[in-house]
Amino acid sequence: MEKHVDFKRHRRLRSSNAMRTMVRENHLRVEDFIYPMFVLEGKNTKNEVSSMPGVYQVSLDLVVEEVREMYDLGIKSIILFGVPNEKDEIGSGAFVETGIVQEATRLIKSEFHDLLIIADTCLCEYTSHGHCGVIHDHDVDNDASLKLLARTAVSQAQAGADIIAPSNMMDGFVIAIRQALDEAGFTNIPIMSYAVKYASAFYGPFRDAADSTPQFGDRKTYQMDPANRLEALREAESDVQEGADFLIVKPALSYLDIVRDVRNNYNLPVVAYNVSGEYAMVKAAAQNGWINERELVMEKLTSMKRAGADLIISYFAKDVAVWLKETN
């Protein structure tokens, strides 16, 4: 018999669906997903976000119904964003006891005891100027903002939040929140830090959903430059030292190299935030019939796992839960 030239036959392991399934290295599970929700003050309102088809701002009275849908699909964690009626210079709506996220947390907890509620801890949805902290001399004042952020975290924990997720990118926010939580007796509440958060155009649709567009300037003095990689490791490093329990990388899709870097350098759970713009692009292309939505979504989310993410925050979580059920 003629001797084969020496090459590897990689296709052997791709020969059938059963074979491919057997050798598959990464998987999506419904437990990997955190579903973002936007809660409105007011009654009987469910507004579809125009740039995010299938995503709604839901008023407090309809929130339980909305949560039930995803809970029944097997999703067991949500991240809450508040859309208040009134805003002010310091974002008081973020930390008052009757704030929208605090109310929503109490309500959801009373219905779904084992659902994990993650509170996004930031001021931008609550400030009249739309920045993530207090303004002094046309810029966000780091240390003054930390105090309000810590107050917000404590009030969210008091309302029953299971995890605090600070996203405002002030230096020292993890330690400021850790100390405040500990002093208030919440030593067991973990911090899921938005450790590595870029100043990204991918957040555009979220700012429609959360009504949090800055009224002047941009967020580049606190969120990171998309060109930087080493800086991501410095950001993650300080959050680890300050006591973070989870590290978020955000956005996800064009930052999978950073997800991998963070995974390789730290041993905390890594969370990829599949942000609003990543969702909107897929939806727009799918509505035009240009791509296969289901295949594309599963591919990109699986890529996040492959890059090293343990968890994924995604507006697609409900769709994925349905699709995973269908394929199992």
Active site residues: 197, 250
- Within the chain, residue ranges assigned H as helices are 17-23, 63-72, 100-111, 142-159, 173-183, 204-210, 230-242, 256-265, 276-287, 293-307, 317-327
Identity of the residue, 102 or 167, whose beta carbon is nearer to ligand PBG in the bound complex? 167
| Minimal distance, residue 212 CB to ligand PBG, in Å | 6
Q: Name residue, tokens 């952020």.
A: 149
88: DSSP letter: B
| Minimal distance, residue 111 CB to ligand PBG, in Å | 25
Binding residues for ligand PBG (CB under 6 A): 120, 122, 124, 132, 167-168, 203, 206-207, 212, 275-276
**Phi/psi of residue 144, nearest 5 degrees:** -70, -35
Give buried/exposed letters for 152-184 (b at 16+ CB in 10 A, else e).
bbbbbbebebbbbbbbbbbeebbbbbbebbeeb
What residues contact residue 263 under an 8 Å CB cut-off, 6+ apart? Answer: 270, 307, 308, 309
Kindly give the interhelix angle for 317-327 and 293-307, rounded to the nearest 10 degrees: 100
| Minimal distance, residue 86 CB to ligand PBG, in Å | 18
Which residue is nearest to ligand PBG, using beta carbons?
Answer: 206
Q: Name residue, tokens 């897929």.
A: 282
| Minimal distance, residue 209 CB to ligand PBG, in Å | 8
Bridge partners, 312 (sequence order): 33, 272
Identity of the residue, 106 or 207, whose beta carbon is nearer to ligand PBG in the bound complex? 207
Q: Name residue, tokens 């084992």.
A: 114
| Minimal distance, residue 296 CB to ligand PBG, in Å | 18
Identity of the residue, 275 or 298, whose beta carbon is nearer to ligand PBG in the bound complex? 275
Identity of the residue, 204 or 269, whose beta carbon is nearer to ligand PBG in the bound complex? 204
Identity of the residue, 93 or 267, whose beta carbon is nearer to ligand PBG in the bound complex? 93
